[in-house]
């Protein structure tokens, strides 16, 4: 995704040396003085094959950094498995109530430290084991992955341009098979890519009819977040439309609370009826926003408004259908009917 990573940090309880955090924080190491956690919702491999993950240290006793006395810290780190290095960009210091105390720019690469090597080994191991024998485009030079969705019976697929931009080979995992995808047209300004497969689809999605979805309406996203790390099946997350414009009051962008992760890029945002109302594009970087504002952003994610997608398709003479059924179905039924139209995209 263009920007990574909105996450929620809630310090629930600290009793002695036992610490409980929100469910997205997973403990990976513990000593008498501290516990180390990582944010599973923001663990991903960037297009250059570098693992990016926030690490959180929680201490049983207050620590000192200059004039700052802190009980917890969050490191923004990058891990290079090929070089065996851990790069720390910056550290955010928090008190026992998760209030920001200050930040420190580190910008340091560590390789020989035994503790750093333990962390590198841990993340490289789980990244490798989670991939198994599956293709791992994010570990290929210049590889990336994302989501797309089929929009008609001819095999046209919509995704994000940044998922496939600059790539020579694009493959889609559709159902139980891999198929080559051809780039038909792209719009870098609105981050849209139109692809096509030479395979008759089992099903396809239809667009929302009429006006744009409104703030307060229910929505859900389908896609392949953290593909290779999580199960390789379509994931669904739910939320509402929280604003009808994005950063800088951009009216082409919807803001929603449905959680998305790296890998969701290019997936559909659907309304409560299962009609396309947006194209998932990005989320905020929580560590950087917290460092700049002293507050941790929550549930701020973005999608391109479906009205812009339809204009793009119209301008390229691509037919599509709009949702007309008045039959009410539950979410599980809609997801079951839609999952075969969701494509896992590997781009190299």
Provide the annotated active-site residues.
162, 191, 265
Cα(121)–Cα(275) distance, rounded to whole angstroms?
43
Contact indicator for 239, 257 with CB cutoff of 8 Å: yes
Give first-to-last CA distance, the chain, whole Å.
Answer: 16
Bridge partners, 180 (sequence order): 171
Vertex 98: Cα angle to 95 and 103 (nearest 5)? 65
Whole-number Å distance between alpha carbons of 290 and 294: 5
Pair of tokens at residue 166: 């600059």
Pairing state of beta strands 100-110 and 301-305? unpaired
Residues in contact with 272: Cβ distance below 8 Å, sequence separation at least 6, in sequence order: 217, 218, 219, 331
Nearest residue to 346 via CA among 194, 128, 233, 178: 178
Tell the residue number behind the tokens 């020579």, with chain if given. Answer: 168
- 313's enclosing H/E stretch is helix 306-315
CA 200 to chain CA centroid, Å, is: 29
From the list 176, 183, 170, 274, the residue with the least C-alpha distance to 221 is 274
Map tokens 């580190």 to a residue.
106
Q: 74 forms bridges with which residues in the sheet?
A: 56, 92
> Which residues, 6 or more positions from 197, have their beta carbon under 8 angstroms from its beta carbon?
155, 157, 172, 174, 179, 180, 181, 182
């Amino acid at each position: 995704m263009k920007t990574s990573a909105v996450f929620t940090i809630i310090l629930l309880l600290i009793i002695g040396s036992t610490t409980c955090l929100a469910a997205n924080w997973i403990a990976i190491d513990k000593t008498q003085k501290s516990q180390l956690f990582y944010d599973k919702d923001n663990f991903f491999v960037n297009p250059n094959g570098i693992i990016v993950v926030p690490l959180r240290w929680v201490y049983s006793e207050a620590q000192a950094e200059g004039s700052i006395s802190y009980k917890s810290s969050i490191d923004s780190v990058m891990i290079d498995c090929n070089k065996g290095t851990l790069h720390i960009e910056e550290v955010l210091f928090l008190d026992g109530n998760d209030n920001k105390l200050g930040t420190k720019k580190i910008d340091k690469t560590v390789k020989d430290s035994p503790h750093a090597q333990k962390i590198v080994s841990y993340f490289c191991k789980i990244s490798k084991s989670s991939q198994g024998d599956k293709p791992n485009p994010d570990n290929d030079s210049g590889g990336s992955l994302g989501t797309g969705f089929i929009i008609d019976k001819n095999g046209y697929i919509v995704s994000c341009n940044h998922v496939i931009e600059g790539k020579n080979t694009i493959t889609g995992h559709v159902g139980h098979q891999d198929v080559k995808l051809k780039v038909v047209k792209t719009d870098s300004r609105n981050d849209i890519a139109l692809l096509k497969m030479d395979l008759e689809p089992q099903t396809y999605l239809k667009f929302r009819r009429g006006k744009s979805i409104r703030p307060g309406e229910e929505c859900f996203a389908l896609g392949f977040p953290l593909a290779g790390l999580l199960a390789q099946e379509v994931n669904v997350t739910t939320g509402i439309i929280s604003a009808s414009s994005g950063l800088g009051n951009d009216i082409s962008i919807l803001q929603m609370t449905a959680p998305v992760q790296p890998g969701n890029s290019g997936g559909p945002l659907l309304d409560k009826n299962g009609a396309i109302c947006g194209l998932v594009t990005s989320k905020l970087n929580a560590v950087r926003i917290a460092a700049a504002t002293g507050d941790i952003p929550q549930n701020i994610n973005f999608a391109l408004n479906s009205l812009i997608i339809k204009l793009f398709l119209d301008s390229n003479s691509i037919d599509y259908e709009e949702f007309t059924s008045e039959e009410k179905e539950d979410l599980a039924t809609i997801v079951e009917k839609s999952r075969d139209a969701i494509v896992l995209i590997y781009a190299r």
